[in-house]
Amino acid sequence: MTALATRESSAPTPQVPTSTSGSRRTAGSRRPRAGHFFVLPYVVLLALFGVIPVVYSIYLAFTKAGGGFAGFSNFTRSARDYRFVPAIEHVAMYVAIWLVALIVLVVLLALVVHRLVSGKAKAVVRFAYYIPGALAGASSVLLLLFVLDPTVSPVAMILRWTGNEHFTDVITPHHLPVIFAIIAFWTGAGGWILVLYGALNTIPAEVMEAAKVDGAGPVRTALNIQLPMIRKWVSYMVILSLAAGTQLFVEPELVSQASFGIVPNDYSVNQLAYQFAFTQNDFNGSAAISIDLLVVALLCAGLFVARGKLFETD
């Protein structure tokens, strides 16, 4: 994590217009104050709902229920639980499907939107992409539950063609990673398409012009010019999505309730942590699982930061 911190500290500093040394000093002395003011509410909320809970869960993970240092016993106990490995497999499978779908489809769709010539069409498509993301997480999952139930689904024909007569056929265990990936993609991808679209817009017109003059078609331009230039944005998307993906909870929890328990309520790692805390009254084991997740997400993020050269200045 030292590596992370170092990388973070070498993040690009804002490019200050450097006309005279005087103006720079004025800007330098004023900016932090205004900046602090804007950041303050976020820092307070982050401390209350981010940092303090994390510190508290680290404290819980290394202590016993009755108090006293527990070493790694909470970690070994929770990892030996019979539901732990299956939960990891479920989440890994889901994250793999989801991330690949996200990278391929989001980039593709962003390129398509960027190619559209008519301004009106662009606006309509951008709006359409954004709508699902505007729904709050849980409610969009509920909406998807209707789509997945052949009795009431507007796409019942497709579900039946693929051999799913009942809701219970749709939610069989081997369908679940794909179903959760579809739900996550539908609710979250729209926002990312817009972000990458924005990134594509930052590519200077003269570069694109030069590519055109050199005879590059849309595919070649995408592969050789656009993709390399938005690489950082893609790795940014992957890091945040990975962190969100490993925390899978709302989707399986709601599907579990809607299926009256056929999809178990310990499907994902986060759900298992929830079971530890609230069914077994084992808050320490639960905290240990949460820390496992944090460490994995940090390691993966570190990998992407390093590989994606995210904080390297141009």
Scanning residues 279 to 308, which ones bind other proteins (CB under 8 A)?
Answer: 279-281, 283, 294-295, 297-298, 301, 305
Scanning residues 48 to 107, which ones bind other proteins (CB under 8 A)?
Answer: 50-51, 54-55, 58-59, 62-70, 81-83
Select the residue interacting with other proteins from 92, 93, 240, 296 (CB under 8 A). 240
- Name the nearest CA neighbour of 283 among 82, 133, 74, 13: 74
Q: Which is nearer to other proteins, 222 or 274 (CB)?
A: 274
Query: Alpha carbon of 231 to those of 9, 150, 203, 223, 234: distances in Å?
Result: 20, 40, 12, 11, 5
Q: Which is nearer to other proteins, 75 or 225 (CB)?
A: 75
Cα separation of 235 and 204, whole Å? 21
Residue 218 · residue 115 · CB < 8 Å: yes
Q: What are phi and psi of 44, to 5 degrees?
A: -60, -50
Q: Which is nearer to other proteins, 112 or 186 (CB)?
A: 186
Say whether residue 167 binds other proteins (CB under 8 A). Answer: yes
Cα separation of 177 and 237, whole Å? 20
Site mask, other proteins, residues 116-145, x = CB under 8 A? -----------------x--xx--------
Cα separation of 256 and 270, whole Å? 14
Select the residue interacting with other proteins from 103, 116, 249, 300 (CB under 8 A). 249
Give how many residues touch other proteins by CB under 8 A: 79
Select the residue interacting with other proteins from 181, 200, 222, 250 (CB under 8 A). 250
